[in-house]
A and B are shown apart, each in its own frame.
Chain A
Amino acid sequence: MAKPGPITLWKRFLSLPIDSRGKTLVVAFLVSVICAVLVTGATVILRPIQQANRAAEQQMRLEALLSAIPGMSEVLDEAGGGALTTVVVNLKKVAASDVAPEDLPAALESAENWTQLTPEQDLASIGNRPDLVQVFFLRDGDDISLAVLPIYGVGHGGMIEAMIALRGDMNTIAGLTVTNQTETPGLGGRIEEPAWQASFSGKRLDDDSGAMRFSVARGHSTSEFEVDGITGATRTSNAIQRIVRFWMGADGFGPLRDAIRRREF
């Protein structure tokens, strides 16, 4: 007798009683396969568009951050479009790296370009810190008058990504912008509001002895080291404080800030 064709098999499958074990297994398998194909297809096909969206968003935020800093738009206009230089720095060697910005994602796929953080070091809850980071410098003659540094860490609802701009003394915050966050809308999500981000401008990170003093206040800020907290979003406010402290501290950009102050860049 010839082997039954696929159509016969299918008919035989359909005629199985609905609660039989065979039918249960086949239905479960078919549903999972079809759903998996659907989800994978949507993710793969739409990924390029989503990445372009994210890149455009980051560029827009960078420009918005710069234009929000008092006096910055004039400086940029004077110096033309190329005023801001993009540099990949190696945080381990505290020096400019020879990796080009467009090769950075590939370089970061290798584990040797990451530093494992101990739980005590890991204020921003990120586990591993990349050694290579893309930063932006604005130069005034030979001196760096502004540095824009990317920072990120885990907040209340997920990863918070931001960019912080420091003035030439590497201590005064010129501005901060949140580029990506998934905090609770209406509460922690308010870290996206320009009004709140504007309160960072002019705040200082370290006191005169060099100790880190920056904090997010509970309620209104009372000193030049504090920004206002967000009501109803204590965890998000604390996360911002931890992220800024980590990245500005010794395990983040701290050595880089010192090197810039010593004019090594």
Chain B
Amino acid sequence: MAASPRLWTTLTEPLIRQNPITLQILGICSALAVTTALDTALTMAASLTVVLVLSAGIISMIRKMIPGTIRLIVQITIVASLVIVIDQILQAYFFDISRRLSVFVSLITTNCLVLGRTESFARNNPPLASMVDALGNGLGYSLILVVIGALREVLGRGKLFGFEVLPTVDQGGWFTPFNLMLLAPSAFFMLGGLVWAVRSALPEQAEPIEHTPPEVEEPSR
């Protein structure tokens, strides 16, 4: 099995080093919206990973058949169909969670992460490698969602998975829930914090400065 170390790198690379959210800043809109609680974050992460892996597999299988002129629309059609199917399944079997995720499952279609992986990787690689790459990226996305979701639920509600971990003041405990954590801005703060933490640990991720401010000479007096 000469190929397996390469597959392993393909799988693990997007977890931290090439993480789609913290390094490429892809797909963050859903990452902000569904992370108010851990269970919605997990469902969203699982749905996205399934869609990503399946679409990468299908597109990679028919990659030699897709004419270059219509490749984007073919990819989007396949992704959108998969998303609708997943959404219908969630509505049928996970009714409660699908209500709380509301439109964000259908918005997986427009998640840049999915099209980004099919366009840049699955289109040029065999099915197995594409699916492994998709799984790695899906897991990388999931990791960030779960971390942010857990932090927001604990700090915002004092709960995890709906179970109390920090006794709140309402219930006679000591913890005052941090309401800001349930609002969208807090997800930005957390995501920013995570990006900062990851780039401090792996300094090679920091981007070079694109513009240098022009040097203006101070008027001498």
Contacts and interface: CB of A to CB of B under 8 A. Distances in A.
Interface of A: 18-20, 23-24, 27-28, 31-32, 35-36, 38-39, 42-43, 46, 49-50, 53, 57, 157-158, 182-187, 189, 232
A18 B85 contact: no
Interface residues of B, number: 33
A185 B34 contact: yes
Interface string B142-171: 000000000000000000000000000000
16 contacts: A18-B65, A27-B74, A28-B73, A28-B74, A31-B77, A35-B80, A39-B81, A42-B84, A49-B93, A50-B88, A50-B91, A182-B102, A184-B33, A185-B101, A189-B102, A232-B183
A116 to B, nearest CB: 29
Q: Chain B interface secondary structure, helix, strand, loop or mixed?
A: helix
Majority DSSP secondary structure for residues of A touching B: helix
Contact of A24 (B34, B69, B89, B91): B69
Contacts of A189: 100, 102
B40 A185 contact: yes
A19 B78 CA distance: 20
A-B pairs, 4 with minimum CB distance: A35-B81, A49-B92, A46-B92, A53-B95
A81 to B, nearest CB: 25
Contacts of B64: 18
Nearest to B179: A231
A182 B107 CA distance: 13
B19 interface: no
A188 B91 CA distance: 21
Nearest to B185: A232
B70 A24 contact: yes
Given A18-B64, A183-B102, 17 more contacts: A18-B65, A20-B67, A27-B74, A31-B78, A38-B85, A39-B84, A39-B85, A43-B84, A46-B88, A50-B92, A50-B95, A53-B92, A157-B103, A185-B40, A185-B101, A186-B184, A189-B102
Nearest to A38: B81
Contact of B67 (A19, A57, A157): A19
B55 to A, nearest CB: 11
Contacts of B67: 18-20, 23-24, 27
A36 B77 CA distance: 10
A35 B95 CA distance: 24
B36 interface: yes
Contacts of A187: 183-184
B66 interface: yes
Interface of B: 33-34, 36, 40, 64-70, 73-74, 77-78, 80-81, 84-85, 88-89, 91-93, 95, 100-104, 182-184
Nearest to A23: B67
B95 A57 contact: yes
A252 to B, nearest CB: 26
Nearest to B152: A186
Contacts of B89: 42, 46
Contact of A43 (B33, B34, B88, B100): B88
A53 B93 CA distance: 9
Contact of B85 (A31, A42, A50, A183): A42
A42 B68 CA distance: 30
A152 to B, nearest CB: 16
A225 to B, nearest CB: 27
A102 B84 CA distance: 30
Contacts of A32: 77
A178 to B, nearest CB: 11
Nearest to B87: A42
- The listed residue with most A CB atoms (<10 A of its CB), out of B34, B80, B101, B103, is B103
Contacts of A23: 65, 67
B76 to A, nearest CB: 10
